[in-house]
Amino acid sequence: MAPFAEYEPQNHGVEDSSVAVRHARQQDAVAIVAVDATRQPRPPSHLDWVAAQLARTDAFHVVAQCGDQVVGASAVKFWPSPADTPAGWYVSGITVVPGWRRRRIGDRMLAFELAKVDRLHEPTWSVVNARNGASLDLHARHGFVEVARAATFAGITFEGGTGVLLRRLARAG
Ligand SMILES: CC(C)(COP(=O)(O)OP(=O)(O)OC[C@H]1O[C@@H](n2cnc3c(N)ncnc32)[C@H](O)[C@@H]1OP(=O)(O)O)[C@@H](O)C(=O)NCCC(=O)NCCS
């Protein structure tokens, strides 16, 4: 189990139109736990945590689905200001199940949630491991730019030692 996708900028994906991107509902909690578990092992309590996140009114959740299978999940959530990052809307946990990657699913989920934040006329933030080239390139495609690098952001530490704080300004809709 690898936390990041292999960085392969020489390859390019093709959209899979059999996959639908939609709002996540409370009934998706078990499927979202399964998606999250493809990145790192999760304790049994993760289901309660996901259910609580889905109930938040200051978060937008999205899943990607093909037939009955949920193949990706993401969210954008409001973080009140911790010491070292601004308060605001943060991309959280964007994950596509291995085997479903490079089909524009991450791209479409991110676009879906960014459109929600744009409607609020607020910037969107994200914190990404500096070694996660796939995620950095995905964010760059959507207009995120690097604001800072540090060993920790909001209490998050990074494998390899460095995280990147990214910001995207709201686009007029
Ligand atoms: C990052 C992740 C969500 C991307 O999802 P995806 O559906 O495979 O990505 P897409 O097909 O939508 O790719 C859109 C663009 O992102 C970039 N990208 C995505 N995967 C990439 C990779 N492995 N290598 C290089 N660039 C990549 C490319 O610019 C790509 O456009 P292109 O295919 O035309 O070159 C997925 O790799 C993943 O789940 N990784 C593990 C979890 C993770 O690291 N999440 C991010 C935490 S901050």
pLDDT of residue 33: 98
CA 111 to each of CA 22, 42, 123, 160: distance values in angstroms, whole numbers, following the listed order:
11, 27, 14, 28
Distances (CA, A) of 83 to 60, 80, 156, 159: 24, 10, 12, 21
Find the angle CA(147)-CA(160)-CA(108) to the nearest 5 degrees.
55
Q: Which residues of the chain have pLDDT under 70?
A: 82, 173
pLDDT tens-digit readout, 14-32: 999 999 999 999 999 999 9
27 CB within 6 A, ligand 1: no
Q: Which atom of ligand 1 is nearest to the CA of 101?
A: 8
- Position 50, amino acid: V
Looking at ligand 1, which residue's alpha carbon is closest to its atom 48? Answer: 128
* 93 pocket-lining for ligand 1 (C-beta < 6 Å): no
- Predicted local confidence at residue 172, as pLDDT: 79
Measured N-to-C along each axis, helices 105-119 and 133-141 cross at an angle, to the nearest 10 degrees, of: 50
Q: Is the CB of 59 under 6 A from ligand 1?
A: no
Instruction: Check if 38 has its Cβ closer than 6 Å to any atom of ligand 1.
Output: no
- Note the pTM of the prediction, 2 decimals: 0.97
Spatial separation of the C-alpha atoms in residues 156 and 23, rounded to whole Å: 27
List, in order of start, the domains of the chain with CATH numbers. 20-168 (3.40.630.30)
**Does any ligand 1 atom lie closer than 6 A to the CB of residue 141?**
yes
At residue 141, φ and ψ (nearest 5 deg) are -60, -25
Q: What is the pLDDT of residue 84?
A: 86
Question: Does residue 12 have its Cβ closer than 6 Å to ligand 1?
Answer: yes
Q: Whose CA is nearest to atom 8 of ligand 1?
A: 101
Q: Which residue has the tokens 């089909």?
A: 103
